[in-house]
Amino acid sequence: MKSRFTAFCCAALAACSLLACNRLSEIQPGAIWPDTEGRHINAHGGGVLRYGDAWWWFGEHKADSTNKALVGVTCYRSKDLINWKYEGVALAVSEDPDSPITRECVIERPKVIYNEKTGKFVMWFHLEHKGHGYKKAHAAVAVADNVTGPYSFVRCGRVNAGKWPCDWSEADIEAVQAINMNLPIKAKTPEWIEESAKGRFLRRDFEGGQMARDQTVFVDDDGKAYHIFSSEENMTLHIAELSDDYLTHTGRYVRVAPGDNNEAPAIFKKDGTYWMITSGCTGWKPNKARMFSAPHIFGPWTKHDNPCVGPDADLTFQGQSTYILPVPGSEENEFIFMADIWRPKHPIDGRYIWLPITWKDGKPVVQWQDRWKPKT
Ligand code: GAL
């Protein structure tokens, strides 16, 4: 009996030390980030939701050698923002070849928000249909009763069809209607940039709906939610109001930084000011982050310098922004900047850069650190 008890104690001790071994004490930006089972976290281009007594990280499941969605959107849970337990697939790709989210479509930058009024979890993501490259530029939405899902696909499509920006005057509308749409312009030339800033692609897509690629969602203090996305051939960002149930666009939106070619929007609000960090548009290759601020979500938005500081700061430390996570109650790292290091040839090996936002002269700074510990 005694020896059995000793054997049991030894086994329990061994299990505990194994678990303790698996426990991480810090975040190491850019390193392999093992989940509680020891597997590198697979939740790219993601976002984090605070719900109940935990944090929920949703992101793109990436495969070994393709960026196409073979699995869907994954979910992880944590209480300390360092140790993450895999909770499974929140939104699964469909086996139905006719479904817009059929296996081998492209699902990118999923973000989940909780709707207090309906009690539903709402996931927005960028969807490209199987076999269409990046041409569809659809916004897609899925909904669930439980945070971990399963999320049911609701709808996808272009957005805000038949609506001009809500801050436009009659004169703005007349000006965009005066653009000579027959004038051929070569993609990516200075003329293309100028014409896109004027609203050429906005006008082109007016009837069918505006393009929506890199995206995030943001819930303001008053419970109103906004969808922020790269539109107009990735040349101009749109900030669009969502309906009270967060499932559709209301038709009210503004254009931000017309013709400035911003992608990867990540947004937060501090003391009444909205801050947005974005990237330039170089596909999977990293580039220099950009930053904007505004006194109201609908602007006017002012551009600032790159907030990144440290090695490779001009390449966003080799990453691309995806989300800015508010950590209420924490003093030193009230906001965490989240970015992805993409590995297009081996997507599953993509890495995560999480860094605390600090402040200098009233502006956010993202200072590189090899390792750090969030105060939750
Ligand atoms: C990036 C974008 C990613 C993905 C990639 C495809 O610029 O941020 O989410 O769409 O392009 O090339």
**Is residue 246 situated within a structural domain?**
yes
**Is residue 241 situated within a structural domain?**
yes
- Paired sense of beta strands 249-256 and 263-270, if any: unpaired
The minimum-distance atom of ligand 1 relative to the CA of 213 is 10
pLDDT tens, 171-185? 999 999 999 998 889
Ligand 1 centroid vs 375 CA: distance in angstroms? 31
> What's the domain count of the chain?
1
Residues contacting 118, CB < 8 A, separation 6+ = 245, 246
Q: Check pLDDT > 60 for residue 40.
A: yes
3-state secondary structure 84-95: CEEEEEEEECEC
**Is residue 248 situated within a structural domain?**
yes
Alpha carbon nearest to ligand 1 atom 11, residue: 283
**Is residue 258 situated within a structural domain?**
yes
Q: Check pLDDT > 50 for residue 288.
A: yes
pLDDT of residue 21: 56
**Is residue 276 situated within a structural domain?**
yes
- Which of 66, 106, 213 for a ligand 1 pocket mutation test, highest count of atoms within 8 Å of Cβ? 213
Q: Is 284 in the pocket of ligand 1 (CB under 6 A)?
A: yes
Token reading at 368 = 């590189």
**High-pLDDT (> 70) share of the chain, %:** 94
Residues contacting 344, CB < 8 A, separation 6+ = 67, 284
**Is residue 6 situated within a structural domain?**
no
Mean pLDDT for all residues in the chain: 94
Average pLDDT of span 180-192: 90
Distance between CA 364 and CA 173 in Å, rounded? 35
**Is residue 8 situated within a structural domain?**
no
Q: Give the residue among 340, 316, 334, 324 at the shortest CA–CA distance from 374.
A: 334
Q: Give the residue among 67, 78, 75, 83 at the shortest CA–CA distance from 25.
A: 83
Domain with 112, as residue range(s), is 26-367
pLDDT tens, 356-369? 999 999 999 999 99
**Is residue 43 situated within a structural domain?**
yes
Q: Is 368 in the pocket of ligand 1 (CB under 6 A)?
A: no
At residue 358, what is the residue type?
T
pLDDT of residue 196: 95
CATH number at residue 270: 2.115.10.20
Q: Is 92 in the pocket of ligand 1 (CB under 6 A)?
A: no
pLDDT tens, 85-114? 999 999 999 999 999 999 999 999 999 999
DSSP 8-state secondary structure symbol assigned to residue 150 = P
Global pTM reads: 0.94
pLDDT of residue 193: 93
DSSP string, 308-366: EESTTGGGGGG-EEEEEEE-TT-STTSEEEEEEE--TTSGGG-EEEEEEEEEETTEEEE
Distance between CA 359 and CA 245 in Å, rounded? 35
Distance between CA 114 and CA 232 in Å, rounded? 28
Token reading at 170 = 């009659």
Alpha carbon nearest to ligand 1 atom 5, residue: 283
Average pLDDT of span 276-287: 98
